[in-house]
Chains A and B, each alone.
Chain A
Amino acid sequence: MAYALQQLINGLTLGMIYGLIAVGYTMVYGIIGMINFAHGDIFMVGAFLSLICLTGLAALGISSVPLALAITLLFAAGIAALYGWTVERIAYRPLRGSFRLAPLISAIGMSIVLQNFVQVSQGARVKPMAPLIQGDIPLLPGADFTTQISAMQIAIVVTTLLVLGVFTWLVTRTPLGRAMRACEQDLKMAGLLGIDTDQTISLTFVIGAALAAVAGLMFLLYYGVIDFYIGFIAGVKAFTAAVLGGIGSLPGAVLGGLAIGLIETFWSAYFTVAYKDVAAFSILVIVLIFMPSGLFGRADVEKV
């Protein structure tokens, strides 16, 4: 029981990270109906930016952990947002209205570019980082197994909830959010009613990239090692989360992320670690085949 509780805590922490990435997928898919294949790589870029920033801050002698985290969060989210904007501007916007496969191929190309750009500029070696936040809080002291929650996990969950809170406020309470939801419902009609759709789509990518960068920072803190290839697997898993929650649904994406995190953690704990990615991918296949509209998605009505 204590062991299962421990896995629950670990799974929720991991799920938060996936949920943050999944939001970016689901937003972009909701508005322009394309799978932003490069999104996972934006997440990876965000992790690298966080690493650079944290290392730089340590070199400058800033030792206050909350301050360093806050600066890193803003820095990584800001620069990653710029990456998101640039990717959309260069690789996707010229293809709007092109045939259906074109943006997907272009996105695959962009994903390859980002991966190799980071490999060339930062090196192919795995980058380790000393844990920034240490300390565990025992929850259920037991004779043979103590369930505990680490300060790191608390920091990750709190930060993610804060970021998601800001994001929810942005989507539900601001003119920008209203424009985004309008575009999601009907892009052409929103344009006719005077919404600058190009700008709204750009901002969607910017926000998605910023959230992915936050996820990158959390990933870096949680695992302590990153390399240029983390984006691909994490991206597919986050996409699975988005599909599981119902693509286009924002709360669905977060819940889907939590579900994927829990499934992966419990699979690793009770079955084999080696096949944990197989578990996630199988869920993707099963969900897409048996309930393609996911948990909270709208069923796609096909008109002939």
Chain B
Amino acid sequence: MPARSGVVAALRDAFLSALVALGLFGAMIGLKTAVGPTSLVLVPRPWAVAITVGVVFAGRLGLLAWRAWRPAGTPSPRQVVAFGRRAGHSVAPLLLIFALTLPAYAGRYWLDLGILVLTYIMLGWGLNIVVGLAGLLDLGYVAFYAVGAYSYALLATNFDLGFWTCLPLAGLLAACWGIMLGFPVLRLRGDYLAIVTLAFGEIIRIVLLNWVSLTNGPNGISGIPRPTLFGLTFSMDGGPGSVADFFGVEPAITQRVAFLYYVILGLALLTNWVSLRLRRLPLGRAWEALREDEVACRALGINVTTTKLTAFAMGACFGGFAGAFFATRQAFISPESFNFMESAIVLAIVVLGGLGSQLGVALAAVVMIGGTEIFRDFAEYRMLIFGGALVVMMILRPRGLVSSRTPSVSLGAHKQISAELIAQGRG
């Protein structure tokens, strides 16, 4: 194709894109509805439309140019995957060392961010059991997070129980809810399962919102006690029974933050360790077999009911742990923290990380949560970019960052399973 006609075609394509953008954004961006003195009024914003349309035009042109003159040396996806596999062996220990030593040199802000990221890593690893290992698409994972958080908050404020007593209880209660959800949806698969779990998550949120006598409704529960270190508190006055008093150091807020950081790090590593060990057990193998083919599983005599229920229960249990931690860290919870968006974020982390890959989930959580944190200054555009990233990732790398995996157990040599052969979400 002669270069000249190619340029003309590209310009025409970009012009058409800009025209579509004008249609899309002309009214929505160009005319902002605002509350006027008597009724709504329209505030025209022609420049915003012009800029958006210009960006679309330039972006489309740039994309076409990139496609036409892509550098020849761009590595193929297969090479990238092979490189990632080699790098993975060294990346995981390095990340662990980095995570363990972070409080030594990081300030308050970075520790808080670390706690946030680790919470999502833990949620991601918990959901990974359900979605990544057992192949059950769960869009209502936040329900278990909420159950854990409310269990701890209610037990602590009503019965005066401590964090370490309530943590197992919160996990247990969440696991019970996991089984309760699991029972009715045993027969469902794929998209239908996703929608039912979504509905379940919303039902939990609406009940939390409206059962005012128990949960205090939309006002939430405040004054949730902080965790203690073997009975030592992290009070700022440094009185008797506090960590500062016991070790004879100045009380500082960073001590509590660092402690919380290590608590969530420990919980997350526990989740990781349990799921890695479970993958070696017959149960874990049954999960993976279930993900690949439910009918074959049945034919081979695997009890599908218990396999699915344990997957829901284990995933929910870790969600409950994470929820209890969330409650103690925030010291305040309300139903607003447990909306569908949270489920979507956690699912996105699992999917972007590559279903079933522990390291991938951790990396995805760092990128997504850390990444959106960087855009905090543009808080309004944060979720916009997040949603766009989901779409772009699905188009460019639908298998996630770490996109192929070896089976946990195999006869003889470890054979690579091509990602395309794995029919996730089908059963």
- By a beta-carbon cutoff of 8 Å, the part of chain A in contact with chain B is 34-35, 45, 48-49, 51-53, 55-56, 58-59, 75, 79, 82-83, 86, 90-91, 94-95, 98-106, 108-113, 115-123, 125, 127-130, 232, 236, 239-240, 243, 272, 274-275, 277-278, 281-282, 284-285, 288-289, 292, 302, 304
A62 to chain B minimum Cβ distance, whole angstroms, is 14
Instruction: Check B383 against A116 for contact (C-beta < 8 Å).
Output: yes
Contact of A284 among B31, B40, B199, B425 (CB under 8 A): B199
Give the CA-CA distance A56 to B188 in the complex, in Å: 47
Stretch in contact with the other chain, from B19-27, B168-176, B254-262 = B19-27
SS of A interface (majority): helix
> Given the complex, which residues of B lie within 8 Å of A278, measured CB to CB?
203, 206-207
Instruction: Check A106 against B394 for contact (C-beta < 8 Å).
Output: yes
Instruction: Check A101 against B424 for contact (C-beta < 8 Å).
Output: yes
Instruction: Check A274 against B40 for contact (C-beta < 8 Å).
Output: no
Q: In the complex, which residues 244-296 of chain B have their Cβ closer than 8 Å to any Cβ of chain A?
A: 295
> Given the complex, which residues of B lie within 8 Å of A111, measured CB to CB?
387
> Given the complex, which residues of B lie within 8 Å of A116, measured CB to CB?
380-381, 383-384, 387
Contact of B190 among A56, A86, A100 (CB under 8 A): A100
> Given the complex, which residues of B lie within 8 Å of A284, measured CB to CB?
195-196, 199
Known contacts A275-B210, A289-B184; A281 and B199 CB within 8 A of each other: yes
Instruction: Check B384 against A117 for contact (C-beta < 8 Å).
Output: yes
Give the CA-CA distance A130 to B39 in the complex, in Å: 7
Give the CA-CA distance A292 to B137 in the complex, in Å: 17
Interface: B91 (CB within 8 A): no
Which residue of chain B has the shortest Cβ distance to A110 in the bound complex?
B391
Instruction: Check B395 against A106 for contact (C-beta < 8 Å).
Output: yes
> Given the complex, which residues of A lie within 8 Å of B386, measured CB to CB?
112
14 A-B contacts, Cβ less than 8 Å apart?
A35-B195, A51-B40, A55-B33, A55-B40, A99-B399, A103-B394, A116-B383, A121-B25, A129-B39, A232-B340, A240-B199, A282-B199, A289-B196, A304-B295
Instruction: Check A99 against B387 for contact (C-beta < 8 Å).
Output: no
Which residue of chain A has the shortest Cβ distance to B26 in the bound complex?
A79
Interface: B390 (CB within 8 A): yes
Stretch in contact with the other chain, from B66-74, B92-100, B344-352 = B344-352
Report, nearest first, the 9 A-B pairs whose CB atoms are least far apart. Answer: A109-B390, A112-B387, A113-B387, A281-B199, A101-B425, A116-B384, A106-B394, A109-B391, A100-B425
Give the CA-CA distance A108 to B23 in the complex, in Å: 23
Interface range, B side: 35 or more
B295 to chain A minimum Cβ distance, whole angstroms, is 5
> Given the complex, which residues of B lie within 8 Å of A90, measured CB to CB?
391
B19 to chain A minimum Cβ distance, whole angstroms, is 10
Known contacts A112-B386, A236-B198; A49 and B398 CB within 8 A of each other: no
B241 to chain A minimum Cβ distance, whole angstroms, is 44
Interface: B108 (CB within 8 A): no
Interface: B187 (CB within 8 A): yes
Give the CA-CA distance A117 to B423 in the complex, in Å: 33
Instruction: Check B398 against A99 for contact (C-beta < 8 Å).
Output: yes
Given contacts A122-B32, A289-B188, 14 further A-B contacts (CB under 8 A): A35-B195, A82-B20, A100-B423, A101-B355, A105-B348, A111-B387, A112-B344, A112-B384, A232-B340, A274-B206, A274-B210, A275-B207, A277-B202, A289-B187
B248 to chain A minimum Cβ distance, whole angstroms, is 50
Give the CA-CA distance A116 to B175 in the complex, in Å: 34
Instruction: Check B200 against A285 for contact (C-beta < 8 Å).
Output: yes
B182 to chain A minimum Cβ distance, whole angstroms, is 12
Interface: B191 (CB within 8 A): yes
Give the CA-CA distance A75 to B26 in the complex, in Å: 12
Q: Which of A34, A101, A129, A239 has the most CB of B within 10 A?
A: A101
Known contacts A101-B425, A109-B391, A281-B203; A288 and B344 CB within 8 A of each other: no
